[in-house]
Amino acid sequence: MNAIGPRFFAAALIVLLAIWAGIRMHSVHNARQQSANQEHGVAAPAGTASASDPRDVAVSEATGPHAVIPVHLPDFSLKDLAGKATPISEWGGKSLVINFWATWCAPCRREIPLLKSIAAEWAGRDLAVLGIAVDYRDKVKEFAGQFKIDYPVLIGDQDALDVAAQFGMDSPAFPFTVFTDGRGEVVALFVGELHRQQVDFILSQVQDLNHGRVQLPEARRLIGEGLEKLAEKHGA
Partner 1 sequence: MQHYGRWRPGGLTTKVRCMQRTPTTAFLSLLLACLLGGAPGSVCAKPYWMRGIESNDTDFLPPDIAFRVSAHDEGNALKVRWVIADGYYLYKQKIEVKAESPDLVVSAPQLPSGVVKTDPYLGTQEIYTQQVEAQVPYTRMDAGAHPIQIKVTYQGCAEAGLCYPPITKVVFPSAGTTAAPAAANIPPYPWESIAIIGGAVGFLMAGLVLRKGRKLDLPA
Q: Map the footprint of partner 1 across residues 121-150, applying CB under 8 A.
A: 134
Nearest one of 104, 96, 109, 167 to 134, comparing CA atoms: 104
Residues pairing with 21 in the sheet? none
120 touching partner 1, by CB under 8 A? no
Q: By C-alpha distance, which of 160, 162, 166 is closest to 180? A: 166
Sole binder of partner 1 in the list 1, 2, 5, 47 (CB under 8 A): 47
Decide if residue 41 touches partner 1 (CB under 8 A). Answer: yes
Q: Determine the longest span between alpha carbons in the chain, in angstroms.
A: 94
DSSP 3-state of 231: helix
User: Site for partner 1 (CB under 8 A): how many residues?
Assistant: 86
| Smallest separation (angstroms) from partner 1 to the CB of 159 | 15
Coil vs helix vs strand at 177: strand
Which of 81, 105, 132, 133 lies at the binding interface for partner 1 (CB under 8 A)?
A: 105
Least separation, in Å, of the C-beta of 130 and partner 1? 19
Contact letters for partner 1, residues 171-200 (x by CB under 8 A): xxxxxx----------xxxxxxx-------
70 lies in the binding site for partner 1 (CB under 8 A): no
The single residue among 1, 40, 82, 233 that binds partner 1, judged by CB under 8 A, is 40
d(CA 127, CA 194): 17
Among 118, 95, 99, CA closest to 109: 99
Is 51 a binding residue for partner 1 by CB under 8 A? The answer is: no
Residues within window 71-100 making contact with partner 1, judged by CB under 8 A: none
Nearer to partner 1, 83 or 113 (CB): 113
**CA–CA separation, 70 vs 202, rounded Å?**
18
Q: Does 52 bind partner 1 (CB under 8 A)?
A: no
The answer for 184, left when phi > 0, alpha when psi is -120 to 50, beta otherwise, is: left
